[in-house]
Structure 1
Amino acid sequence: METLITLESFVRSAQVASFSGAARQLGLTPAAVSQNVARLEAKLGVRLFQRSTRGLTLTESGERFLREASPGLESLQAAIANASSAAGQPSGVLKVSVSPGFGLDYLVPLLQDFLARYPAIVPDWHFENRPVDLIAEGFDAAIGGGFELPSGVAARELARAHVIGVASPAYLERHAPLKEPADLQHHEGLLLRSPLSGRIRSWLLRTRSGEQFSVEMKPRLIINDPDSLCRCAAMGLGITFVVTANVLPYLQSGALVRVLPKWHADIGPIALYYAGHRQLPAKTRVFVNHVVEEFRRQNLAKLFSAL
């Protein structure tokens, strides 16, 4: 076991370029991780890292050892994690990241059945509006959309992320009719500030026939959370453009209605992503399969479609 934790200390430190970052993932102190790596270097007779106040840099020997050691470590970790599944009981803490609204509307409702089927798994779910670094932050999986997935990450597409315009019936009654995208300039805009870039999001709308229009609206308010924008729109404060998955409960209740129904923006897939190991831990594999199957059973991809 000392050999396994020593090897894992090296691999995690290399992935995050930090003993402290590796320590947070492994539940150790930075000093313990540093000592593990030093012990490994002594056994191998080579220096694996160049250490400086800026962090860690792999030496040429360290880069070669990382390439050769990582696959074996991942296979061994998967074998250990899967050991309990031989008795039909995947187990362990399942750390997942998802946006707050999406998590509450579509992930939390899966909990009861999931926990009944896999009682030895402990969900550790983080609700936040950002893509996470699975390896550096120690997540088993995440759900998100509208961004490029990093290399080394596998993904299962759940649906397309379609952006549509919505407003409350009361707001539309008080304002001039909205017939064409150009009419948006005369309306109150509830705009989204990207949690990633800090910039106000702009949307390039399209129709099935190939027409395009870049949304221009005067800001009534700016918020960095799409679920809050939906609530503000339901209060009659203006028109907002959000992903259909966020606004679907409001559309179903009638609190919001779609404007410009022929127009939408497609910003890519809503994906369930996870580290691209050749053999997933049982807890991650059953979670991925459960979510994919539930999305298929509930036909959510069709419900999320703006077409």
Structure 2
Amino acid sequence: MENLITLESFVRSAQSTSFSAAARGLGLTPAAVSQNVARLEARLGVRLFQRSTRGLTLTESGERFLRDVSGGLETLQTAIANVSASAGQPAGLLKVSMPPALGLGYLVPLLKDFAARHPGVIPDWHMDNRHVDLINEGFDAAIGGGFDLPSGFAARELARAHIIAVASPDYVARIPPPQHPSDLQHHEGILMRSPATGRLRTWALRNRAGDQESGEMRPRMILNDPEAICQCAVMGLGIAFTATFNALPYLRNGTLVRLLPKWHADIGPISLYYAGHRQLPAKTRVFVDYVVAEFKRQGIARMFSATSGEF
């Protein structure tokens, strides 16, 4: 019988089409993963991959073996992750990605209570303004919006991601406040460049009547980080579009005010993404249940809503 790490090396390599990517997820060297796969091929007497400078491609035998082994490997991994559940304690490293503002403002404050409830779970939280590769980077879960879900992954919506226009009281005092999105073209904008695509972000604003308008401004400066955009807006350098969860601390302390309160952009759900198979590792299951319950208990979806009337 093949050992678990050999099978994991094959499955991760097949999923990522790369020994290097599989190695990162397994905490091994690419050479070790390649050797594991070579030993497996020698044991089975078939070639599982076609290797080239472009990466790995499964052979017909490799595709058949992947179908046969994936379900059993998942069951073994789950059993190992849950081995301490017999003592009533989920355990293990819990690797989660989340945007910095969302993590620092709303997830990190939950750590003390979560750690007290589940002392065997070790949070390994990554604050990233990017879409991580859940499989190839070995994440148990991710929080954010717009992820392409790999096969077998699920999502639980936590709130809606709303974009609003903000500026400092000092800046607003120097200008005629915009009454309609079309007025923004006469104002200086602190614009966002997408870290993923390199393109300037544009927003389709809507009001409660369903009218849609673009919110174009004269570029004053361009940044690729939401927190930097908020900081520049606080300094009175222009008008910025930002997610409500980024703006909320500044709106509450009065260093930013909302403009065009009847207009916002809804860019989709803020969700918690995780492997959706039935035998979810206990460490991930308790994390998902805890975060969903806390967001509901604290009314965070309403807090983030641009139409709640709270800002």
The two structures have a TM-score, normalised by structure 1, of 0.96
User: How far apart are residue 199 of structure 1 and its match?
Assistant: 0.5
> Could you say which residue in structure 2 is the equivalent of 1:216?
216
CA distance in 2 between counterparts of 1:210 and 1:126 reads 37
**Corresponding letter in the other structure for 2:194:** S
**Corresponding letter in the other structure for 2:104:** L
CA distance in 2 between counterparts of 1:133 and 1:68 reads 24
> Could you say which residue in structure 2 is the equivalent of 1:230?
230
CA distance in 2 between counterparts of 1:183 and 1:29 reads 56
> Could you say which residue in structure 1 is the equivalent of 2:266?
266
CA distance in 2 between counterparts of 1:101 and 1:16 reads 30
RMSD: 1.4
Secondary structure, aligned partner of 1:122: strand
CA distance in 2 between counterparts of 1:176 and 1:230 reads 21
User: How far apart are residue 3 of structure 1 and its match?
Assistant: 1.8
**Corresponding letter in the other structure for 2:208:** R
Q: Alpha-carbon deviations, 1:147-189, whole Å to 9, x = none?
A: 5444432111000001111111111111112111111111110
User: How far apart are residue 44 of structure 1 and its match?
Assistant: 2.0
User: Relative to structure 1, is the Cα distance of residues 147 and 39 closer, same or farther in structure 2, using a 3 angstrom cutoff?
Assistant: closer
User: Relative to structure 1, is the Cα distance of residues 8 and 151 closer, same or farther in structure 2, using a 3 angstrom cutoff?
Assistant: closer
Of residues 123-132 and 197-206 in structure 1, the stretch that sits farther from structure 2 once superposed is 123-132
CA distance in 2 between counterparts of 1:177 and 1:27 reads 54
CA distance in 1 between counterparts of 2:149 and 2:215 reads 26
CA distance in 1 between counterparts of 2:277 and 2:52 reads 31
Q: Alpha-carbon deviations, 1:9-42, whole Å to 9, x = none?
A: 1001111111222122212222222222122222
Asked whether the 8 Å contact 2:2–2:40 carries over to 1, the reply is: no
For residues 1-307 of structure 1, what are the structure 2 equivalents within 5 Å? 3-307=3-307
CA distance in 2 between counterparts of 1:177 and 1:33 reads 60
Asked whether the 8 Å contact 2:134–2:140 carries over to 1, the reply is: yes
Asked whether the 8 Å contact 1:18–1:55 carries over to 2, the reply is: yes
User: How far apart are residue 209 of structure 1 and its match?
Assistant: 0.6
CA distance in 2 between counterparts of 1:38 and 1:145 reads 39
Secondary structure, aligned partner of 2:3: helix
User: How far apart are residue 249 of structure 1 and its match?
Assistant: 1.1
Secondary structure, aligned partner of 2:86: helix
User: How far apart are residue 213 of structure 1 and its match?
Assistant: 0.3
CA distance in 2 between counterparts of 1:304 and 1:202 reads 20
User: How far apart are residue 271 of structure 1 and its match?
Assistant: 0.6
Aligned residues with identical type, % of pairs:
73
**Corresponding letter in the other structure for 1:218:** R
User: Relative to structure 1, is the Cα distance of residues 230 and 254 closer, same or farther in structure 2, using a 3 angstrom cutoff?
Assistant: same
Asked whether the 8 Å contact 1:162–1:244 carries over to 2, the reply is: yes
CA distance in 2 between counterparts of 1:147 and 1:87 reads 35
**Corresponding letter in the other structure for 2:58:** L
Asked whether the 8 Å contact 2:182–2:214 carries over to 1, the reply is: no
Secondary structure, aligned partner of 1:135: coil
User: How far apart are residue 121 of structure 1 and its match?
Assistant: 1.2
**Corresponding letter in the other structure for 1:10:** F
Q: Alpha-carbon deviations, 1:78-105, whole Å to 9, x = none?
A: 1110111221211111111111111111
Of residues 158-167 and 29-38 in structure 1, the stretch that sits farther from structure 2 once superposed is 29-38
- 5+ long unaligned stretches in structure 1: none
